[in-house]
């Protein structure tokens, strides 16, 4: 195939060339952690991730964010789904998949919202609808200077539910690329629950080491 010859896909984690029907190389897949990371966000939601944010996974996420290696999202979402199946699916389910939104100016600058790309793949792999439920209202670059408690309080004002009707009574899977303090996921989850969501489950590609 000409396309394959011109643009062979690369393993997100070691950057070796792989076949088109693969999402990562067999060596890297064999080295996946056996158990998913499970963390509780500051507001008490469960967040599940296949990886810890370190080494090749951290590099793959940085490439995805800054070098626009969109292909990586296929491997990330498959890993998330497998982590979810090991945990969430045992006693609960979700009805909608959504993402942590970026401001329009960020999306324009970057070209895409990385969490949205992952969330759309996760929705497809789990046969659930992807819906854009939240919008980000203001860019809060300066939030990095605030403390953790302040960030949670502060963040909440920067997210809105697009339509409360879509959210009411629903169990929602909320996707972000990386969970660090959990402040962002907490804020989004709180906004969704304030709008009537029954439950919010969180998942990310990687969770920062504590
Ligand atoms: Zn690899």
Burial of 207 (0-12, 13-18, 19+ CB in 10 A): buried
**Nearest one of 108, 38, 99, 55 to 73, comparing CA atoms:** 99
Contact (CB, 8 A) for 111 and 185: no
Å from CA of 160 to ligand 1 middle: 39
Burial of 117 (0-12, 13-18, 19+ CB in 10 A): buried
pTM of the predicted structure, to 2 decimals: 0.88
pLDDT on residue 106: 79
Å from CA of 184 to ligand 1 middle: 30
pLDDT on residue 148: 67
pLDDT on residue 45: 92
Å from CA of 42 to ligand 1 middle: 34
Cα–Cα distance for residue pair 12/24, rounded to 1 Å: 6
CATH of 11-208, one of 2.40.110.10, 3.40.50.2020, 2.60.40.10, 3.30.499.10: 3.40.50.2020
Helix or strand run (H / E) with residue 188: helix 183-194
In Å, the largest CA–CA distance within the chain is 53
Give CA angle at 188 (186, 192), nearest 5°: 115
pLDDT on residue 5: 63
pLDDT averages per 10-residue partition of the chain, 210 residues: 70 94 96 94 94 97 89 96 83 88 80 92 96 82 61 71 95 96 94 96 94
Task: Domain ranges for the chain, please list them.
Answer: 11-208
- What single string gives the DSSP state of each residue in 85-139? HHTHHHH---SEEEE----HHHHHHHSS-HHHHHHHHHHHHHT--B---EEE-S-
Q: CB count, 10 Å around CB of 92?
A: 11
Q: CB count, 10 Å around CB of 19?
A: 9
Å from CA of 173 to ligand 1 middle: 28
Question: Which residue do the tokens 């169990």 mark?
Answer: 171
Å from CA of 48 to ligand 1 middle: 22
Q: Write the DSSP symbol of residue 80.
A: H
Å from CA of 162 to ligand 1 middle: 39
């Amino acid at each position: 195939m000409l396309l394959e010859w011109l643009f062979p896909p690369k393993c997100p984690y070691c950057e070796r060339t792989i076949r088109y029907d693969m999402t990562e190389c067999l060596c890297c897949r064999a080295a996946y952690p056996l158990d998913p990371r499970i963390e509780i966000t500051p507001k008490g939601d469960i967040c599940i991730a296949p990886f810890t944010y370190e080494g090749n996974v951290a590099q793959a996420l940085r490439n995805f964010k800054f070098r626009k290696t969109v292909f990586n999202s296929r491997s990330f979402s498959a890993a998330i789904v497998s982590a979810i199946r090991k945990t969430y699916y045992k006693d609960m389910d979700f009805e909608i998949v959504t993402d942590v939104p970026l401001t329009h100016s960020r999306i324009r600058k970057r070209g895409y919202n990385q969490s949205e790309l992952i969330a759309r793949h996760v929705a497809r792999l789990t046969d659930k609808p992807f819906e854009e439920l939240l919008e980000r209202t203001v860019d809060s670059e300066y939030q990095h200077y605030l403390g953790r408690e302040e960030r949670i309080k502060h963040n909440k004002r920067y997210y809105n539910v697009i339509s409360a009707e879509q959210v009411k009574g629903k169990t929602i899977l909320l996707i972000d690329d990386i969970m660090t303090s959990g402040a962002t996921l907490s804020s989004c989850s709180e906004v969704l629950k304030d709008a009537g969501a029954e439950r919010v489950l969180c998942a990310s590609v990687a969770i920062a080491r504590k």
